Amino acid sequence: MNQPELVLLLQQGDESAFKKLVDEWQDMVYNTAVSIVQNADDADDITQEVFIQVYQSISSFKGESKFSTWLYKVTLSKALDHEKKKKRKKRFAFVQTLFGNNNDEELHPVEFDHPGVQLEKKQRANELFNALKQIPDKQRIAFTLHKLEGQSYQEVAEIMNTSLYAVESLMGRAKTNLKKALSKYYLDHKK
């Protein structure tokens, strides 16, 4: 079944089409989410939220872009919203500790467990994902979509709703910032 047929069936409320959609796209949604939030449990939650959103708003999909582009946009939006909520919680927890209202909430370091990374490469991948957390969101999204999800610059531009030139610029800045962030790790491991 091709994408336009699948979308049409979804818009008509066909539940088997929704199951097929989930089966076909859940890995991509999960991998994109885990690349952004870097936590398997959070990525699972985001994946569920994405498919709920798709189910509820499929009628608004007009077909002006590819379905996959729309799905990436929904996924990135949910993942970035999750990140913002997490940052707010951390700031609020910090303020609470200043005023002595500490609920003993632990702050956990980044847990990296991307399914596409082999065990022996986990340490280097963990360093990359820690470095990705340090660069601005737009750079991180462009880098993630292009380098980790294999999207072309043109596809990244469509997903991010920006120009090809802007994506090229974001990628250049992301590479520069990642190089700075990773230089200490690689200097330490050369010795």
Neighbours of 148 (CB within 10 A): 20
Cα–Cα distance, 8 to 181 (Å, whole number): 46
DSSP-derived 3-state class of residue 65:
coil
- Say what the pLDDT of residue 181 is: 87
Q: Residue 132's domain spans which residues?
A: 117-191
Cα–Cα distance, 160 to 145 (Å, whole number): 10
Q: Are residues 151 and 76 in the same domain?
A: no
| Domain CATH for 127 | 1.10.10.10
To the nearest 10°, report the CA torsion of 14, 18, 19, 24. Answer: 140
Q: Are residues 79 and 124 in the same domain?
A: no
- For residue 43, what are its two tokens? 């990525």
The residues of the chain scoring below 50 in pLDDT are: 102-111
Number of domains comprising the chain: 2
Domain membership of residue 94 (yes or no) is no
- Rounded to whole angstroms, what are the CA distances from 80 to 40, 42, 63, 86, 95? 15, 12, 24, 10, 23
- Say what the pLDDT of residue 117 is: 53
Nearest in space to 33 (alpha carbons), one of 12, 13, 53: 53
- Say what the pLDDT of residue 87 is: 72
Cα–Cα distance, 100 to 120 (Å, whole number): 43
Q: Are residues 75 and 21 in the same domain?
A: yes
Cα–Cα distance, 142 to 132 (Å, whole number): 11
| Domain CATH for 14 | 1.10.1740.10
Q: Are residues 63 and 126 in the same domain?
A: no
**Distance between the two ends of the chain, CA-based, in angstroms?**
54
Q: Are residues 15 and 79 in the same domain?
A: yes
**Domain's final residue, options 68, 85, 102:** 85
Q: Are residues 19 and 78 in the same domain?
A: yes
Domain membership of residue 93 (yes or no) is no
pLDDT tens-digit readout, 148-163: 888 999 999 999 999 9
Q: Are residues 4 and 81 in the same domain?
A: yes
